[in-house]
Copies of this chain bind each other. A is one copy, B any other.
Amino acid sequence: MPKYNLCFLGFGNVGRALARLFSTKSAELAELYDIECSITGVATRRMGWLTNVNGFEVESLLSGKDQPGTIRERDFDVWLRNSRPDAVLETTSLNVENGQPAIDYLQAALRSGAHAITANKGTVVHGYDQRAAAAAQAGKRYLFEATVLDSAPIFSLFRECLPAVKLRAFTGVFNSTSNVIMEAMESGRSFDEGVQAARELGVTETDPSHDVDGWDSTVKICALARVLMKTPLTPNDVRREGIRGLDVRTLRAARAEGRPYKLVARARIDDSSVITATVRPEQLNATDPLASVRGTSLGVHFELDMMPGLTIMSHRPNLQSTAYGLLADFVNAVRNAS
């Protein structure tokens, strides 16, 4: 049975959930796919660049216990060389502006002959072609299923299940924080109370502006446009309006008439490959499936040349499901590579 070395770049909530998942799913991976894994590298700002060529024991790693054979390397390059990864699993925090330093890490991982798997949508938007080329050259995969709709398959769906389709347009409810805030306001609470509710659900950072000003949805549009419509789109190309202009009265009235507001992301490509894209609060009809996307759930609706409409929704995703998106990428990389 082939044994794969895994390296974790970032070891926050998602990284930790992923390590646990590789442990709980190990018997299934062995039985179904002949896959055995060993974590040989873990790197975080706090822990430093750790390698262990014999493989970290997951429970000890999660509880922060010292393990025999662990070496603290000098820097990324030495770490990458000495941990000898077959796959680098990247879950560091997002830099929307330029996707760094994740991008450099993923490029180096691909050059070293590892699959590069990321939860980081910035890396899909900034310099995607560079990563795609590096992956092709190395005969490895650059995969990022968890970046847009949590673990719900989107990129693998188009790649593996929908050959020879043309994506004409999509509409998405991509941002949990905005959804939670607007629902809090519909029930009469303030914007700030909504932010607090989103924080308690663990879906937003201290500063929610990335979410409520529409940047998160904008970057997701760009990622989908680049990969599924095969057309570059930068965040500045997207007409963007966040949810700060909405008040409680407006939101309550909209909900009462059965046409709730959502922060809606839209993109449409014309026959000349020109994309028109918007992020803005919109009222959705009750008959629109995306109107039923509530709380932390996410959804996207695709219009394809071959199908009038295909909707995918991810319900109440959690840390485990996000982590699963990365695990699925890894399995797909490995089983399709051989």
Contact = CB atoms under 8 A, between A and B. Distances in A.
Contacts of A156: 160-161
Interface string A154-169: 0011001111110000
A154 to B, nearest CB: 9
Contacts of A188: none
A23 to B, nearest CB: 13
B164 A28 contact: yes
Contacts of A258: 258, 286
Contact of A287 (B157, B294, B299, B309): B294
A102 interface: no
Given A153-B161, A291-B292, A313 B315 contact: no
Q: How many copies of this chain does one complex carry?
A: 2
A266 B288 CA distance: 23
A82 interface: no
A169 B151 CA distance: 18
Given A331-B164, A332-B161, A313 B314 contact: no
B162 A306 contact: no
Interface in A291-305: 291-294, 297, 299, 301
A329 to B, nearest CB: 10
30 contacts: A25-B164, A28-B164, A32-B163, A33-B163, A151-B306, A157-B157, A160-B161, A161-B328, A163-B335, A164-B327, A164-B331, A165-B324, A258-B258, A286-B286, A286-B292, A287-B294, A289-B289, A289-B299, A289-B311, A307-B314, A307-B315, A308-B317, A308-B318, A309-B313, A309-B314, A309-B315, A310-B312, A311-B311, A311-B312, A311-B315
